[in-house]
A and B are shown apart, each in its own frame.
Chain A
Amino acid sequence: MAKENIKDADYRKAKVKSKIAWAIAIFFACVMLIITLTPFFFMIMNSFRKQFDMLQQGVFHLPDPWFFENFVTVVEKGFFGYFLRSVIVVGVSLILMLIISSFAAYPLSRMRFKLNPWIYAMIVAMMSVPMHVTLIPIFKLTTAVGFYDSLKALIGPYVAFSLPMSIFILTAFMKTIPKEIEESAEIDGCNRYQSFFFLILPLSKSGLSTLAIYNGVSMWNEFAFANTLIISPENKTLPLVLGQFKGEHAMNIPMIMAVLTLSVLPMIILFIVFQDKLVKGMMSGAVKG
């Protein structure tokens, strides 16, 4: 009986302790929420202010009055042009990247040939090459073939630099598909090309979609190549829109905040729709890490 009581007290004590621990944890979690959200709050609130209201009203006031003209002006000044060009470049690059990396991952994961481990090691080593080291030669190459200042210039580097990581993840992914599937297909008269297109590729769909999200985000935000290889405003992609607007409206901070808000919005919407996929994608990268 007494023993029971002690156990009970211990249990209650532990429960109180864990409640306190949770309260502290939630407190810090809320602090982190505030740190995360304040800059977004600053951005969105200021995008609805008139140019000179910003300094007068201060950071922590709601806009008074709510001013929507900034967004209208930004759209009128060709924001969607930048947006569309980014969609085109990212779309084309992603499709090419997915095709080429699944092509490469197939023999690396499922065929035995002498050079296999060497090619794989070479591709993995390419993951740590910083793109900045290649900037000058790629600039040189782009001008030499006449692609400079066009969207074409971006596609090659975007695809090439997303390949090593993608091949690495896809190879690991394809290795998990059981061998027997192909063997039985072979008996049924499938050759390698057929079993790639009709068996392995459809089975890799979930791996491919996570790769698309993961690489899509980094291509969408890519700055250094775009800034180096494109010069005219009518060819610029979304990451360059901010510099362009700042050059034209340096003093109109609310206008720049409106551009920022518009350029971040599509990513946030996509994330909310696809968030589980993204975590899964990082998981497949993390397993083999």
Chain B
Amino acid sequence: MGKENKISLAQAKAKSTARAATVFLIPALLLITIFIIYPVIDTFVISGYKWNGISSDRFFVGLENWKTLIHDEMFWKSFKHNLIVMVFSILLQIPLGMLLATFLDAGGKKFNIFKVIWFLPYLMSSVAIAFLFNYALATNGGIISSLATIIQGKRTTIDLLGTAPNALYTVIGVMAWQFTPFYMVYFIAGYGNIDTSIYEAAVLDGATRWQYIKHIAIPLLGPIFKTACTMSLIGSLKYFDMIWNMTQGGPAGSTELMATYMYKLSFQQFNMGYGSTVAAGMFILITAIALIFNKVFKVKEVD
């Protein structure tokens, strides 16, 4: 009798827990389903149609759009640009952010002014940065061209955004300007999480600041490096705002990325069926690269 009572009491408790959990979780799950899960599925559904996004007539074309995508040179070219942006973002922003954070960590409070100023670019929206650099890098009255004019002593123009190979690397440079502060704060946070007693112990053992950073702090920051790389990787594969406002993918498609290509197809040419196919392709590629990256890193950690 007493035993039965206990079981039903435990069951009742589990039931009330489940009920409370449902009540608390429903709003979040509802929103995530409506605005993230359903749209992702719908993107794949729309990719099977020819549709302009406005009229009610959609034609089911099966895998036609996907066949086009596989042979679409512009899509693969934009994917290649995404990969270039990805590699340079990881190679530039993360080590630089790490260096700045190391400097600030070693310097302590008296370098606070450096931290505040270095962080400023991250506070600007990508749109604002795009407009600013459009003018700041212009051949006429821009910073670089004006500098070159002073150095050369005669009127010199350096066309950073208007010519094909330059534009992509210029954009990468501007992205580094924008996002390095983010990784800097991230690594500052990482240094902050290392127990101060570890540093004190190292100093007692006669380690210099540099030895501490090299042999103790950096290995401890390993997981942070990994997260930073994952963030940079996903971020650069879905990059959109700044490029859209700065070059719109030009000149001659030399800065076209998957997201700008998708946006152009969908909201300028109103080819939403194929635009969705590009979006779905982008989703598959990003997920695959992120999974591969995580797997490779895990293997390395075991070593």
Contacts and interface: CB of A to CB of B under 8 A. Distances in A.
Interface stretch (A64-72, A76-84, A177-185, A275-283): A275-283
Interface residues of A, number: 93
A224 B31 contact: no
Contact of B132 (A29, A39, A131, A278): A39
Contact of B143 (A21, A59, A228): A59
A268 interface: yes
A49 B7 CA distance: 80
Contacts of A192: 16-17, 20
B2 interface: no
Residue of B131, B133, B224, B287 ringed by the most chain A CB atoms within 10 A = B131
Contact of B262 (A25, A132, A287): A132
Contact of A119 (B25, B189, B283): B25
B117 A33 contact: yes
B31 A107 contact: no
Contacts of B168: none
B172 interface: no
Interface stretch (B35-43, B65-73, B84-92, B197-205): B35-43
B39 to A, nearest CB: 4
A67 B103 CA distance: 39
Contacts of B276: 136
A283 B193 contact: yes
B75 interface: no
Interface residues of B, number: 89
A263 interface: yes
B14 interface: yes
If over half of A's interface residues share one DSSP class (helix, strand or loop), that class is named, otherwise mixed; here it is: helix
A24 to B, nearest CB: 11
Interface of B: 14, 16-18, 20-21, 24-25, 27-29, 31-32, 34-40, 42-43, 46, 53, 100, 103, 111, 114-121, 123-128, 131-133, 135-136, 140-143, 146, 150, 177, 185-186, 188-190, 192-193, 208-210, 223-224, 226-227, 234, 237-238, 240-241, 244-245, 259, 262-263, 266-267, 272, 275-276, 279-280, 282-283, 286-287, 290
Interface of A: 14, 18, 21, 25, 29, 32-33, 35-40, 42-43, 46, 54-55, 58-60, 99-101, 103-104, 106-108, 111-114, 116, 119, 123, 126, 128-141, 156-157, 159-161, 163-164, 167, 192-193, 196, 217, 220-221, 223-224, 228, 239-240, 242-243, 246, 253, 256-257, 260, 263-264, 267-268, 271-272, 275, 278-280, 282-283, 285-287, 289
